Amino acid sequence: MIDKNLYGPWAVVVGGSEGVGASFAHRLADAGINLVLIARKPGPLEETAARVRARGVEVRTLALDLLDPGAPDKVAAATDGLEVGLLVFNAGANSYGHDFVSGDLERVQGVLDLNITAQLALTHHFGASMKERGRGGILLVGSLSGYLGQARISVYSAAKAFSRVFAEGLWLELRPHGVHVLELVLGVTRTPAMERAGLRMDLPGLRVAEPDDVAREGLEHLADGPVHIAGGNAPAAEKRSGFPRAELVLGADEASRRLLPPAS
C-alpha cells in the first residue's frame, strides 16, 4: 500500500471523476490520504467524491475546465493551506478521428494546452512545495501513443511524447530532493473516455487493461521512475522505439486503423 507519510496527507487527482482517475482516488483513500479531485463535469465528480468519502477520508472537489486560462490559479486557491504530497495528472484531451491539416486548429491547440501547458503549470506549482519539504510524488499519466507518430492523433501522440521526456528530466531534477516522479504509460484501457472516443476494444488479440489495474501499477511503481509502462505493454513500447522509423510507423498505422473510429 502507498505510504501516506511520503505522499500525504493530501493528494490532488486531476481528471479524478471517472476511469483511471477514479481508481487512483479509491486506492489513495484506502491508504488514508485525503483528496482534492479535479474534473470538468460536476456530476460524475461529485458521485466519485461521495464514494471516496465513504472510505473515511476528507475529499474536496473542484469542477474546472483546465483550458480556462485562470485554471492554475483556481487550483492553487482551492488547495491553499493543504500539504499536498502527491499530484496525479490524469487529464488529457485527444484528437481522435481528425487529420491535422483538415482539422480544427483551435481544437488542436486545446490538445496542447491540456496535455502540456496545464500539466506543466500544476507540476511547477505542487513540485516546488514538495521539493522544499523533501518528499512527495508526481505521477503523470501518459500513453503508448507517445512512442511514435500516428495518423489522426498526430498532435496527441506528440504531446504524450513531450510528457514522457519531460518526466525523465524532472525525475533527474527532483530525485536528490526526495520527490518521486513517474510517467505511467498506458496502452488501451477500458475507460469511459476511450469508449466515448469510439475505440474498438473487442478486436481479437487486443490487450485491454482495466482502470483499477493500471492505477495499482502506477502507485506500486511511483518510486521506480522515471517511466513505467502498464498493462504488459513494455515490449510494444520497446518495439515502437526502434528503427527504421518508416517501417514502424507504417505498421502501427495499419493496426491503429482497425482500432480508431472512421475518419471525420
CATH code where residue 147 lies = 3.40.50.720
- What per-residue confidence (pLDDT) applies to 184? 98
pTM: 0.94
**Going along the chain, which residue ranges are E strands?**
10-14, 34-39, 59-63, 84-89, 136-143, 179-186, 227-229
In a structure prediction context, what are the per-residue pLDDT tens digits for the chain, which is 264 residues long?
799 999 999 999 999 999 999 999 999 999 999 999 999 999 999 999 999 999 999 999 999 999 999 999 999 999 999 999 999 999 877 765 678 998 889 888 999 999 999 999 999 999 999 999 999 999 999 999 999 999 988 999 999 999 999 999 999 999 999 999 999 999 988 877 666 666 676 677 778 899 999 999 999 999 999 999 999 999 999 999 999 999 999 988 888 777 766 655
User: Is 264 among the domain residues?
Assistant: no
- What per-residue confidence (pLDDT) applies to 97? 67
Q: Rg of the Cα trace of the chain?
A: 18
- What per-residue confidence (pLDDT) applies to 263? 58
DSSP 116: I
User: Is 160 among the domain residues?
Assistant: yes
Q: Is 189 helix (H, G, I), strand (E, B) or coil?
A: strand
Q: What's the domain range around 125?
A: 4-259
Q: Is 227 helix (H, G, I), strand (E, B) or coil?
A: strand
User: Is 54 among the domain residues?
Assistant: yes
Of how many residues is the chain composed? 264
Total number of domains in the chain: 1
User: Is 41 among the domain residues?
Assistant: yes
